[in-house]
Amino acid sequence: MAKILVIDDEVVFARSVAHTLSRNGHECRSLSSAEEGMISIETDRPDLILLDIKLAGMSGLDALRKILSLDGSIIVIIMTAYSSVESAVAAMKDGAYDYIQKPIDHDELTFIIEKALETHRLRERLSYFQRKEVQQAAHGEIIGVSAGMTQVIEMIGRIAHLEPRPAGELPTVLLLGETGTGKDLVARAIHRRGSLAGQPFVEIECTSIPKDLAEAELFGYEKGAFTGATAAKPGLIEAADGGTLFLDEVGELSPELQAKLLKAIERRQIRRLGSLRERKINVRIIAATNRDLEAAVKVGAFRPDLYYRLKVLTVELPPLRERGEDVVLLANHFLKQLTHKYSLPVRRFTEAALQALRAYRWPGNVRELVHLVERALLVCDEQEIGPSALSMDATSPVVASQRRNHPPGADETFQIQFPEQGIDLDEVERQLIKQALDLTDGNVAEAARKLSIGREALRYRIQKHGITRPAIL
Ligand SMILES: Nc1ncnc2c1ncn2[C@@H]1O[C@H](COP(=O)(O)OP(=O)(O)OP(=O)(O)O)[C@@H](O)[C@H]1O
Protein backbone atom coordinates (compact mmCIF):
# COMPACT_ATOMS: atom_id res chain seq x y z
CA MET A 1 0.00 0.00 0.00
CA ALA A 2 1.27 3.47 -0.86
CA LYS A 3 0.15 7.01 -0.07
CA ILE A 4 -0.97 8.73 -3.26
CA LEU A 5 -2.15 12.30 -3.94
CA VAL A 6 -4.15 13.15 -7.05
CA ILE A 7 -3.96 16.85 -7.94
CA ASP A 8 -6.33 18.02 -10.67
CA ASP A 9 -8.70 20.98 -10.86
CA GLU A 10 -11.32 18.78 -12.53
CA VAL A 11 -12.68 17.69 -9.16
CA VAL A 12 -14.92 14.84 -10.35
CA PHE A 13 -12.13 13.37 -12.45
CA ALA A 14 -9.61 13.61 -9.59
CA ARG A 15 -12.04 11.86 -7.22
CA SER A 16 -12.69 9.06 -9.68
CA VAL A 17 -8.95 8.43 -10.15
CA ALA A 18 -8.44 8.44 -6.38
CA HIS A 19 -11.34 6.03 -6.00
CA THR A 20 -9.82 3.59 -8.54
CA LEU A 21 -6.47 3.68 -6.78
CA SER A 22 -8.07 3.17 -3.36
CA ARG A 23 -9.75 0.06 -4.73
CA ASN A 24 -6.24 -1.18 -5.68
CA GLY A 25 -5.34 -0.98 -1.98
CA HIS A 26 -3.65 2.46 -1.84
CA GLU A 27 -4.38 5.33 0.54
CA CYS A 28 -5.53 8.13 -1.75
CA ARG A 29 -6.58 11.77 -1.50
CA SER A 30 -7.75 14.03 -4.29
CA LEU A 31 -7.01 17.78 -4.26
CA SER A 32 -8.02 20.49 -6.70
CA SER A 33 -4.97 22.79 -6.60
CA ALA A 34 -1.18 22.67 -6.41
CA GLU A 35 -1.29 25.06 -3.41
CA GLU A 36 -3.34 22.54 -1.40
CA GLY A 37 -0.94 19.87 -2.60
CA MET A 38 2.07 21.68 -1.10
CA ILE A 39 0.42 21.77 2.32
CA SER A 40 -0.53 18.12 2.05
CA ILE A 41 3.07 17.08 1.25
CA GLU A 42 4.19 18.37 4.64
CA THR A 43 1.40 16.63 6.55
CA ASP A 44 0.67 13.46 4.55
CA ARG A 45 4.17 12.67 3.22
CA PRO A 46 2.89 10.94 0.06
CA ASP A 47 4.95 8.34 -1.85
CA LEU A 48 3.53 9.33 -5.22
CA ILE A 49 1.69 12.30 -6.73
CA LEU A 50 -0.45 12.24 -9.88
CA LEU A 51 -0.25 15.82 -11.07
CA ASP A 52 -2.25 17.54 -13.80
CA ILE A 53 0.03 19.66 -15.95
CA LYS A 54 -2.60 22.34 -16.63
CA LEU A 55 -3.80 23.70 -13.34
CA ALA A 56 -5.48 26.97 -12.52
CA GLY A 57 -3.19 28.89 -10.14
CA MET A 58 0.30 27.46 -9.75
CA SER A 59 1.15 25.63 -12.99
CA GLY A 60 1.86 21.91 -13.06
CA LEU A 61 5.53 22.50 -13.99
CA ASP A 62 6.07 24.97 -11.12
CA ALA A 63 4.30 22.57 -8.77
CA LEU A 64 6.57 19.73 -9.90
CA ARG A 65 9.72 21.74 -9.15
CA LYS A 66 8.36 22.78 -5.76
CA ILE A 67 7.36 19.21 -4.84
CA LEU A 68 10.80 17.84 -5.71
CA SER A 69 12.53 20.61 -3.79
CA LEU A 70 10.42 19.75 -0.73
CA ASP A 71 11.05 16.02 -1.00
CA GLY A 72 13.14 14.60 -3.84
CA SER A 73 12.06 11.03 -3.11
CA ILE A 74 8.41 11.61 -4.08
CA ILE A 75 7.47 10.08 -7.42
CA VAL A 76 5.56 12.50 -9.61
CA ILE A 77 3.54 11.24 -12.56
CA ILE A 78 2.15 13.91 -14.87
CA MET A 79 -1.38 13.71 -16.29
CA THR A 80 -1.71 15.46 -19.58
CA ALA A 81 -4.13 15.99 -22.45
CA TYR A 82 -2.94 14.99 -25.93
CA SER A 83 -2.41 18.65 -26.84
CA SER A 84 0.12 19.22 -24.05
CA VAL A 85 2.32 16.13 -24.38
CA GLU A 86 5.29 18.42 -25.06
CA SER A 87 4.95 20.03 -21.63
CA ALA A 88 4.79 16.57 -20.12
CA VAL A 89 8.08 15.67 -21.79
CA ALA A 90 9.57 18.91 -20.43
CA ALA A 91 8.28 17.90 -16.99
CA MET A 92 10.12 14.60 -17.25
CA LYS A 93 13.33 16.51 -17.92
CA ASP A 94 12.62 18.37 -14.68
CA GLY A 95 12.36 15.16 -12.69
CA ALA A 96 8.86 13.74 -13.25
CA TYR A 97 8.95 9.94 -13.28
CA ASP A 98 6.53 9.40 -16.19
CA TYR A 99 3.41 10.81 -17.81
CA ILE A 100 0.02 9.43 -18.69
CA GLN A 101 -2.38 10.80 -21.27
CA LYS A 102 -5.98 11.75 -20.68
CA PRO A 103 -8.50 10.22 -21.07
CA ILE A 104 -6.97 7.82 -18.63
CA ASP A 105 -7.14 4.12 -19.16
CA HIS A 106 -7.44 2.50 -15.72
CA ASP A 107 -5.32 -0.55 -16.56
CA GLU A 108 -2.55 1.64 -17.92
CA LEU A 109 -2.75 3.86 -14.84
CA THR A 110 -2.50 0.85 -12.52
CA PHE A 111 0.48 -0.50 -14.48
CA ILE A 112 2.40 2.82 -14.45
CA ILE A 113 1.74 3.35 -10.76
CA GLU A 114 2.80 -0.15 -9.67
CA LYS A 115 5.99 0.09 -11.78
CA ALA A 116 6.79 3.50 -10.30
CA LEU A 117 6.20 2.33 -6.74
CA GLU A 118 8.47 -0.64 -7.28
CA THR A 119 11.25 1.71 -8.42
CA HIS A 120 10.56 3.85 -5.39
CA ARG A 121 10.94 0.89 -3.00
CA LEU A 122 14.17 -0.16 -4.68
CA ARG A 123 15.52 3.40 -4.42
CA GLU A 124 14.62 3.57 -0.74
CA ARG A 125 16.35 0.30 -0.02
CA LEU A 126 19.44 1.41 -1.88
CA SER A 127 19.65 4.70 -0.08
CA TYR A 128 19.23 2.83 3.22
CA PHE A 129 22.17 0.57 2.39
CA GLN A 130 24.25 3.47 1.08
CA ARG A 131 23.57 5.50 4.25
CA LYS A 132 24.54 2.50 6.39
CA GLU A 133 27.71 2.09 4.36
CA VAL A 134 28.69 5.76 4.78
CA GLN A 135 28.15 5.52 8.56
CA GLN A 136 30.33 2.44 8.75
CA ALA A 137 33.03 3.81 6.46
CA ALA A 138 34.13 6.17 9.20
CA HIS A 139 35.01 3.20 11.39
CA GLY A 140 36.48 1.07 8.65
CA GLU A 141 40.19 1.24 9.41
CA ILE A 142 41.89 -2.16 9.53
CA ILE A 143 44.50 -2.35 12.28
CA GLY A 144 47.26 -4.94 12.24
CA VAL A 145 50.95 -5.40 11.50
CA SER A 146 51.32 -9.12 12.24
CA ALA A 147 52.42 -11.33 9.34
CA GLY A 148 48.90 -12.78 9.03
CA MET A 149 47.20 -9.38 8.90
CA THR A 150 49.83 -7.93 6.56
CA GLN A 151 48.96 -10.70 4.10
CA VAL A 152 45.25 -9.96 4.51
CA ILE A 153 45.75 -6.23 3.91
CA GLU A 154 47.88 -6.92 0.82
CA MET A 155 45.23 -9.25 -0.52
CA ILE A 156 42.51 -6.62 0.01
CA GLY A 157 44.61 -4.19 -2.03
CA ARG A 158 45.09 -6.71 -4.80
CA ILE A 159 41.39 -7.59 -4.99
CA ALA A 160 40.28 -3.97 -4.77
CA HIS A 161 42.55 -2.92 -7.59
CA LEU A 162 41.51 -5.54 -10.08
CA GLU A 163 40.95 -3.91 -13.44
CA PRO A 164 37.69 -1.91 -13.37
CA ARG A 165 34.96 -4.03 -14.94
CA PRO A 166 31.24 -4.64 -14.41
CA ALA A 167 30.43 -5.97 -10.93
CA GLY A 168 29.18 -9.28 -12.28
CA GLU A 169 32.50 -9.98 -13.96
CA LEU A 170 34.62 -9.49 -10.85
CA PRO A 171 35.74 -12.74 -9.19
CA THR A 172 33.91 -13.98 -6.11
CA VAL A 173 35.74 -13.69 -2.82
CA LEU A 174 35.46 -16.09 0.11
CA LEU A 175 36.43 -14.79 3.56
CA LEU A 176 37.29 -17.40 6.17
CA GLY A 177 37.93 -16.94 9.86
CA GLU A 178 36.57 -17.51 13.33
CA THR A 179 33.78 -15.32 14.63
CA GLY A 180 34.85 -11.74 15.34
CA THR A 181 38.08 -11.84 13.31
CA GLY A 182 36.98 -9.01 11.00
CA LYS A 183 35.39 -10.67 7.97
CA ASP A 184 32.65 -8.05 7.76
CA LEU A 185 35.21 -5.27 8.03
CA VAL A 186 37.33 -6.80 5.25
CA ALA A 187 34.32 -7.28 2.95
CA ARG A 188 33.48 -3.58 3.28
CA ALA A 189 37.11 -2.59 2.75
CA ILE A 190 37.29 -4.57 -0.51
CA HIS A 191 34.12 -2.86 -1.68
CA ARG A 192 35.11 0.65 -0.64
CA ARG A 193 38.63 0.57 -2.00
CA GLY A 194 37.71 -0.91 -5.38
CA SER A 195 36.00 0.22 -8.55
CA LEU A 196 32.55 -0.49 -7.04
CA ALA A 197 32.88 2.11 -4.28
CA GLY A 198 29.82 4.36 -4.51
CA GLN A 199 27.68 1.47 -5.73
CA PRO A 200 25.46 -0.38 -3.26
CA PHE A 201 26.96 -2.74 -0.70
CA VAL A 202 24.22 -5.09 0.46
CA GLU A 203 24.86 -7.43 3.36
CA ILE A 204 22.77 -10.52 3.89
CA GLU A 205 23.18 -12.32 7.17
CA CYS A 206 22.22 -15.79 6.09
CA THR A 207 21.52 -16.89 9.68
CA SER A 208 19.16 -14.04 10.50
CA ILE A 209 16.65 -14.45 7.67
CA PRO A 210 13.76 -16.70 8.74
CA LYS A 211 13.87 -19.86 6.63
CA ASP A 212 10.41 -19.44 5.13
CA LEU A 213 11.12 -15.83 4.09
CA ALA A 214 14.64 -16.36 2.83
CA GLU A 215 13.82 -16.93 -0.83
CA ALA A 216 11.47 -13.93 -0.99
CA GLU A 217 14.06 -11.71 0.75
CA LEU A 218 16.87 -12.75 -1.57
CA PHE A 219 15.08 -13.03 -4.88
CA GLY A 220 12.07 -10.73 -4.37
CA TYR A 221 8.49 -11.49 -5.33
CA GLU A 222 5.64 -10.38 -7.54
CA LYS A 223 2.33 -9.12 -6.26
CA GLY A 224 0.14 -12.11 -5.32
CA ALA A 225 3.06 -14.59 -5.23
CA PHE A 226 1.83 -15.69 -1.79
CA THR A 227 -0.73 -14.64 0.80
CA GLY A 228 0.33 -11.22 2.05
CA ALA A 229 2.30 -10.26 -1.08
CA THR A 230 0.13 -7.19 -1.70
CA ALA A 231 2.74 -5.50 -3.90
CA ALA A 232 5.77 -6.61 -5.87
CA LYS A 233 9.06 -6.28 -4.01
CA PRO A 234 12.59 -6.52 -5.37
CA GLY A 235 14.90 -8.84 -3.45
CA LEU A 236 18.23 -8.02 -1.82
CA ILE A 237 20.15 -9.43 -4.77
CA GLU A 238 18.45 -6.93 -7.06
CA ALA A 239 19.09 -4.18 -4.52
CA ALA A 240 22.83 -4.87 -4.87
CA ASP A 241 22.73 -4.35 -8.64
CA GLY A 242 25.95 -2.78 -9.88
CA GLY A 243 27.66 -3.28 -6.52
CA THR A 244 28.60 -5.92 -3.96
CA LEU A 245 26.41 -8.57 -2.39
CA PHE A 246 27.94 -9.72 0.89
CA LEU A 247 26.69 -13.12 2.03
CA ASP A 248 27.66 -13.41 5.68
CA GLU A 249 27.59 -16.89 7.25
CA VAL A 250 27.07 -18.43 3.84
CA GLY A 251 27.71 -21.87 5.36
CA GLU A 252 24.29 -21.67 7.02
CA LEU A 253 22.27 -21.43 3.79
CA SER A 254 19.73 -24.21 3.35
CA PRO A 255 20.42 -26.73 0.55
CA GLU A 256 17.52 -25.29 -1.52
CA LEU A 257 18.89 -21.75 -1.31
CA GLN A 258 22.40 -22.98 -2.06
CA ALA A 259 21.05 -24.47 -5.29
CA LYS A 260 19.16 -21.29 -6.20
CA LEU A 261 22.10 -19.07 -5.39
CA LEU A 262 24.46 -21.18 -7.48
CA LYS A 263 22.08 -20.95 -10.43
CA ALA A 264 21.80 -17.19 -10.00
CA ILE A 265 25.59 -16.73 -9.88
CA GLU A 266 26.23 -18.98 -12.86
CA ARG A 267 23.52 -17.60 -15.09
CA ARG A 268 23.72 -14.04 -13.74
CA GLN A 269 19.95 -14.03 -13.67
CA ILE A 270 17.28 -14.34 -11.04
CA ARG A 271 13.59 -14.97 -11.08
CA ARG A 272 11.34 -13.37 -8.49
CA LEU A 273 8.87 -15.59 -6.63
CA GLY A 274 5.68 -15.80 -8.65
CA SER A 275 7.30 -14.49 -11.83
CA LEU A 276 8.06 -16.22 -15.10
CA ARG A 277 10.49 -13.52 -16.18
CA GLU A 278 14.24 -13.88 -15.70
CA ARG A 279 15.98 -10.64 -14.66
CA LYS A 280 19.63 -9.96 -15.32
CA ILE A 281 21.77 -9.25 -12.28
CA ASN A 282 25.11 -7.52 -12.19
CA VAL A 283 26.65 -8.05 -8.75
CA ARG A 284 30.01 -9.04 -7.31
CA ILE A 285 29.70 -11.62 -4.56
CA ILE A 286 31.71 -11.70 -1.37
CA ALA A 287 30.87 -14.57 0.98
CA ALA A 288 32.06 -15.20 4.51
CA THR A 289 31.88 -18.05 6.97
CA ASN A 290 33.37 -19.17 10.25
CA ARG A 291 32.60 -22.79 9.37
CA ASP A 292 35.06 -25.17 7.81
CA LEU A 293 33.31 -25.21 4.43
CA GLU A 294 35.65 -27.81 3.00
CA ALA A 295 34.67 -30.15 5.81
CA ALA A 296 30.99 -29.26 5.30
CA VAL A 297 31.38 -30.20 1.63
CA LYS A 298 32.88 -33.56 2.62
CA VAL A 299 29.91 -34.48 4.80
CA GLY A 300 27.40 -33.25 2.20
CA ALA A 301 26.25 -30.20 4.22
CA PHE A 302 27.43 -27.71 1.57
CA ARG A 303 27.29 -28.02 -2.21
CA PRO A 304 30.75 -28.59 -3.68
CA ASP A 305 29.88 -26.71 -6.89
CA LEU A 306 28.84 -23.62 -4.91
CA TYR A 307 31.93 -23.91 -2.71
CA TYR A 308 34.24 -23.88 -5.74
CA ARG A 309 32.22 -21.02 -7.28
CA LEU A 310 32.69 -18.93 -4.14
CA LYS A 311 36.32 -19.63 -3.37
CA VAL A 312 37.82 -18.13 -6.52
CA LEU A 313 39.79 -15.77 -4.27
CA THR A 314 40.11 -16.76 -0.62
CA VAL A 315 41.16 -14.54 2.26
CA GLU A 316 41.77 -16.25 5.61
CA LEU A 317 41.63 -14.06 8.70
CA PRO A 318 43.90 -15.32 11.48
CA PRO A 319 42.47 -15.67 15.00
CA LEU A 320 43.50 -12.82 17.30
CA ARG A 321 45.59 -15.12 19.52
CA GLU A 322 47.91 -15.70 16.52
CA ARG A 323 48.42 -11.99 15.79
CA GLY A 324 51.09 -11.21 18.39
CA GLU A 325 51.41 -7.48 19.15
CA ASP A 326 48.28 -6.66 17.12
CA VAL A 327 46.35 -7.23 20.36
CA VAL A 328 48.06 -4.22 21.96
CA LEU A 329 47.69 -2.07 18.83
CA LEU A 330 44.01 -2.92 18.61
CA ALA A 331 43.38 -2.39 22.33
CA ASN A 332 44.98 1.07 22.20
CA HIS A 333 43.08 1.89 19.01
CA PHE A 334 39.70 0.97 20.54
CA LEU A 335 40.57 2.75 23.78
CA LYS A 336 41.23 5.97 21.86
CA GLN A 337 38.14 5.59 19.70
CA LEU A 338 35.84 4.85 22.65
CA THR A 339 37.30 7.56 24.88
CA HIS A 340 36.43 9.98 22.11
CA LYS A 341 32.95 8.48 21.66
CA TYR A 342 32.12 8.84 25.38
CA SER A 343 33.93 12.23 25.64
CA LEU A 344 36.12 10.92 28.45
CA PRO A 345 39.56 12.18 29.45
CA VAL A 346 42.55 10.36 27.94
CA ARG A 347 43.18 6.91 29.45
CA ARG A 348 45.90 4.32 29.04
CA PHE A 349 46.51 0.70 29.91
CA THR A 350 49.08 -0.23 32.53
CA GLU A 351 51.88 -2.59 31.47
CA ALA A 352 50.26 -5.35 33.57
CA ALA A 353 46.96 -4.88 31.71
CA LEU A 354 48.77 -5.12 28.37
CA GLN A 355 50.45 -8.34 29.54
CA ALA A 356 47.05 -9.79 30.45
CA LEU A 357 45.72 -8.85 27.01
CA ARG A 358 48.70 -10.50 25.31
CA ALA A 359 48.30 -13.70 27.30
CA TYR A 360 44.56 -14.22 26.88
CA ARG A 361 43.40 -16.64 24.18
CA TRP A 362 40.50 -14.52 22.76
CA PRO A 363 37.85 -17.05 21.80
CA GLY A 364 35.66 -14.16 20.59
CA ASN A 365 38.58 -12.50 18.75
CA VAL A 366 38.54 -8.76 17.96
CA ARG A 367 34.84 -8.38 18.76
CA GLU A 368 35.52 -9.66 22.29
CA LEU A 369 38.42 -7.22 22.59
CA VAL A 370 36.23 -4.25 21.57
CA HIS A 371 33.63 -5.13 24.22
CA LEU A 372 36.25 -5.75 26.85
CA VAL A 373 37.92 -2.38 26.26
CA GLU A 374 34.54 -0.63 26.32
CA ARG A 375 33.58 -2.26 29.61
CA ALA A 376 36.98 -1.50 31.16
CA LEU A 377 36.71 2.12 30.10
CA LEU A 378 33.27 2.52 31.59
CA VAL A 379 33.95 0.80 34.91
CA CYS A 380 37.36 2.29 35.58
CA ASP A 381 37.55 5.84 36.92
CA GLU A 382 41.33 5.90 37.09
CA GLN A 383 43.43 7.43 34.36
CA GLU A 384 45.35 4.14 34.12
CA ILE A 385 43.43 0.98 33.34
CA GLY A 386 44.89 -1.99 35.20
CA PRO A 387 44.24 -5.73 34.77
CA SER A 388 41.46 -5.75 37.38
CA ALA A 389 39.27 -3.58 35.12
CA LEU A 390 39.60 -6.14 32.34
CA SER A 391 36.95 -8.67 33.17
CA MET A 392 38.05 -11.46 30.90
CA ASP A 393 38.16 -15.05 32.08
CA ALA A 394 41.72 -14.58 33.30
CA THR A 395 43.08 -11.24 34.33
CA SER A 396 46.41 -12.34 35.69
CA PRO A 397 49.04 -12.93 33.04
CA VAL A 398 50.26 -16.04 34.85
CA VAL A 399 46.88 -17.78 34.90
CA ALA A 400 46.20 -16.58 31.39
CA SER A 401 49.40 -18.02 30.03
CA GLN A 402 48.67 -21.34 31.75
CA ARG A 403 45.28 -21.19 30.15
CA ARG A 404 46.72 -20.87 26.70
CA ASN A 405 47.19 -24.62 26.91
CA HIS A 406 43.80 -25.25 28.43
CA PRO A 407 40.54 -24.96 26.57
CA PRO A 408 38.21 -22.40 28.18
CA GLY A 409 36.20 -24.05 30.91
CA ALA A 410 38.74 -26.81 31.50
CA ASP A 411 39.71 -27.70 35.01
CA GLU A 412 42.27 -25.11 36.02
CA THR A 413 44.24 -27.67 38.03
CA PHE A 414 44.84 -29.78 34.89
CA GLN A 415 48.48 -30.82 34.85
CA ILE A 416 50.44 -33.46 33.02
CA GLN A 417 52.34 -35.81 35.34
CA PHE A 418 55.59 -36.74 33.66
CA PRO A 419 56.03 -40.54 34.09
CA GLU A 420 59.43 -41.75 35.33
CA GLN A 421 59.88 -44.09 32.37
CA GLY A 422 59.43 -41.12 29.98
CA ILE A 423 56.81 -40.52 27.26
CA ASP A 424 56.39 -40.70 23.52
CA LEU A 425 55.71 -37.03 22.77
CA ASP A 426 54.37 -37.83 19.31
CA GLU A 427 51.90 -40.30 20.77
CA VAL A 428 50.72 -37.73 23.37
CA GLU A 429 50.12 -35.24 20.57
CA ARG A 430 48.28 -37.86 18.51
CA GLN A 431 46.03 -38.76 21.42
CA LEU A 432 45.25 -35.14 22.27
CA ILE A 433 44.32 -34.40 18.67
CA LYS A 434 42.11 -37.49 18.50
CA GLN A 435 40.38 -36.48 21.73
CA ALA A 436 39.85 -32.93 20.50
CA LEU A 437 38.32 -34.28 17.28
CA ASP A 438 36.11 -36.70 19.22
CA LEU A 439 34.96 -33.90 21.50
CA THR A 440 34.00 -31.74 18.52
CA ASP A 441 32.49 -34.53 16.42
CA GLY A 442 35.37 -34.25 14.00
CA ASN A 443 34.98 -30.50 13.39
CA VAL A 444 38.51 -29.42 12.47
CA ALA A 445 37.95 -25.70 13.09
CA GLU A 446 36.45 -26.34 16.54
CA ALA A 447 39.15 -28.85 17.44
CA ALA A 448 41.88 -26.42 16.32
CA ARG A 449 40.35 -23.81 18.59
CA LYS A 450 40.33 -26.20 21.53
CA LEU A 451 43.99 -27.01 20.90
CA SER A 452 44.85 -23.31 20.49
CA ILE A 453 46.44 -23.84 17.09
CA GLY A 454 45.43 -22.76 13.58
CA ARG A 455 43.31 -24.92 11.33
CA GLU A 456 46.10 -25.46 8.84
CA ALA A 457 48.48 -26.49 11.63
CA LEU A 458 45.94 -29.02 12.84
CA ARG A 459 45.36 -30.39 9.34
CA TYR A 460 49.09 -30.87 8.96
CA ARG A 461 49.27 -32.78 12.26
CA ILE A 462 46.25 -34.91 11.37
CA GLN A 463 48.04 -35.98 8.21
CA LYS A 464 51.33 -36.46 10.01
CA HIS A 465 49.75 -38.83 12.54
CA GLY A 466 47.69 -40.56 9.89
CA ILE A 467 44.45 -39.92 11.80
CA THR A 468 41.86 -41.48 9.58
CA ARG A 469 39.24 -39.56 7.67
CA PRO A 470 36.02 -40.93 9.21
CA ALA A 471 36.96 -39.28 12.52
CA ILE A 472 37.12 -35.90 10.77
CA LEU A 473 34.35 -33.71 9.51
N1 LIG B 1 41.84 -5.59 12.16
C2 LIG B 1 40.86 -4.86 12.71
N3 LIG B 1 41.04 -3.54 12.94
C4 LIG B 1 40.09 -2.80 13.51
N5 LIG B 1 38.89 -3.28 13.91
C6 LIG B 1 38.64 -4.58 13.72
C7 LIG B 1 39.61 -5.44 13.10
N8 LIG B 1 39.07 -6.68 13.02
C9 LIG B 1 37.84 -6.61 13.54
N10 LIG B 1 37.57 -5.35 13.97
C11 LIG B 1 36.33 -4.91 14.66
O12 LIG B 1 35.87 -6.02 15.43
C13 LIG B 1 34.46 -6.17 15.37
C14 LIG B 1 34.08 -7.52 14.80
O15 LIG B 1 34.50 -7.60 13.45
P16 LIG B 1 33.58 -8.23 12.28
O17 LIG B 1 32.13 -8.02 12.58
O18 LIG B 1 34.11 -7.74 10.99
O19 LIG B 1 33.91 -9.78 12.50
P20 LIG B 1 33.34 -11.04 11.70
O21 LIG B 1 34.49 -11.94 11.42
O22 LIG B 1 32.53 -10.60 10.52
O23 LIG B 1 32.40 -11.71 12.80
P24 LIG B 1 31.23 -12.81 12.57
O25 LIG B 1 31.87 -14.06 12.02
O26 LIG B 1 30.70 -13.03 13.95
O27 LIG B 1 30.24 -12.19 11.63
C28 LIG B 1 33.97 -5.00 14.52
O29 LIG B 1 33.62 -3.96 15.39
C30 LIG B 1 35.19 -4.63 13.68
O31 LIG B 1 35.14 -3.28 13.29
Per residue in 320-365, pLDDT (tens digit) is 999 999 999 999 999 999 998 888 888 999 999 999 999 998 989 9
Mean pLDDT of 3-13: 92
Specify the DSSP class assigned to residue 316: E
Q: For the purposes of burial, counting CB atoms within 10 Å of the CB of 10, is it exposed (0-12), middle (13-18) or buried (19 or more)?
A: middle
Specify the DSSP class assigned to residue 389: G
CA of 366 to the centre of ligand 1 (A): 6
What is the CATH T-level fold of the domain 145-316, as seen in this structure? Rossmann fold (3.40.50)
Residue ID of nearest Cα to ligand 1 atom 9: 182
Q: How far apart are alpha carbons 37 and 7 in whole angstroms?
A: 7
Class of domain 321-403: mainly alpha
pLDDT above 80 for 184: yes
177 lines ligand 1 (CB under 6 A): yes
Strands (E), 159-263: 173-176, 201-205, 220-221, 233-234, 244-248
Residue ID of nearest Cα to ligand 1 atom 29: 367
184 lines ligand 1 (CB under 6 A): yes
**Atom of ligand 1 at shortest distance to CA of 142?**
3
CA of 370 to the centre of ligand 1 (A): 9
Beta strand 75-80 with 48-52 is parallel
Mean pLDDT of 434-453: 83
318 lines ligand 1 (CB under 6 A): no
Residue ranges covered by each domain of the chain: 3-121, 145-316, 321-403, 425-471
* Residue 216: HSE in the Cβ half-sphere, 13 Å Cα cutoff: 17
pLDDT above 60 for 407: no
Q: Which of 151-160, 303-312, 428-437 has the lowest mean pLDDT?
A: 428-437
**Atom of ligand 1 at shortest distance to CA of 149?**
1
CATH 1.10.10.60 is right for the domain spanning 425-471:
yes
CA of 122 to the centre of ligand 1 (A): 29
Q: How far apart are alpha carbons 141 and 133 in whole angstroms?
A: 13
Mean of pLDDT over the chain? 84
Q: Which of 47-51, 162-166, 349-353 has the lowest mean pLDDT?
A: 162-166
Mean pLDDT of 7-17: 91
pLDDT above 50 for 410: no
pLDDT band at 131 (very low <50, low <70, confident <90, very high): low
Per residue in 92-106, pLDDT (tens digit) is 888 888 889 888 888
88 with 82: CB under 8 angstroms? no
Determine the distance from the C-alpha atom of residue 124 to the mean position of all C-alpha atoms in its chain, rounded to a whole number: 16
Q: What is the pLDDT of residue 415?
A: 55
pLDDT above 80 for 210: no
pLDDT band at 422 (very low <50, low <70, confident <90, very high): confident
**Assigned CATH for 3-121:** 3.40.50.2300
Q: What is the pLDDT of residue 228?
A: 78
Q: Which of 105-109, 120-124, 376-380 has the lowest mean pLDDT?
A: 120-124
Per residue in 355-397, pLDDT (tens digit) is 999 999 898 999 999 999 998 988 888 889 998 888 765 433 3
Q: Pick from 56, 58, 55, 99: which is nearest to 77 by CA?
A: 99
179 lines ligand 1 (CB under 6 A): yes
Per residue in 282-317, pLDDT (tens digit) is 999 999 999 999 999 998 989 999 999 999 999 999
pLDDT above 80 for 84: no
Burial 322-341 (b: 16+ CB within 10 A, else e): bbbebbebbbbbbbeebbee
143 lines ligand 1 (CB under 6 A): yes
Strand partners, 87: none
pLDDT band at 471 (very low <50, low <70, confident <90, very high): very low
Residue ID of nearest Cα to ligand 1 atom 8: 182
Q: What is the pLDDT of residue 351?
A: 93
142 lines ligand 1 (CB under 6 A): yes
Ranked by mean pLDDT, the top range of 34-43, 105-114, 146-155, 372-381 is 146-155
326 lines ligand 1 (CB under 6 A): no
Calculate what percentage of the chain has a pLDDT beyond 90.
40
Per residue in 244-292, pLDDT (tens digit) is 999 999 998 888 899 999 999 999 999 999 988 888 999 999 999 999 9
Question: ipTM exceeding 0.90?
Answer: yes
367 lines ligand 1 (CB under 6 A): yes
Q: Is 97 helix (H, G, I), strand (E, B) or coil?
A: coil
Q: What is the pLDDT of residue 309?
A: 94
**Atom of ligand 1 at shortest distance to CA of 177?**
21
| 3-121 and 145-316 share one fold | yes
pLDDT band at 132 (very low <50, low <70, confident <90, very high): low
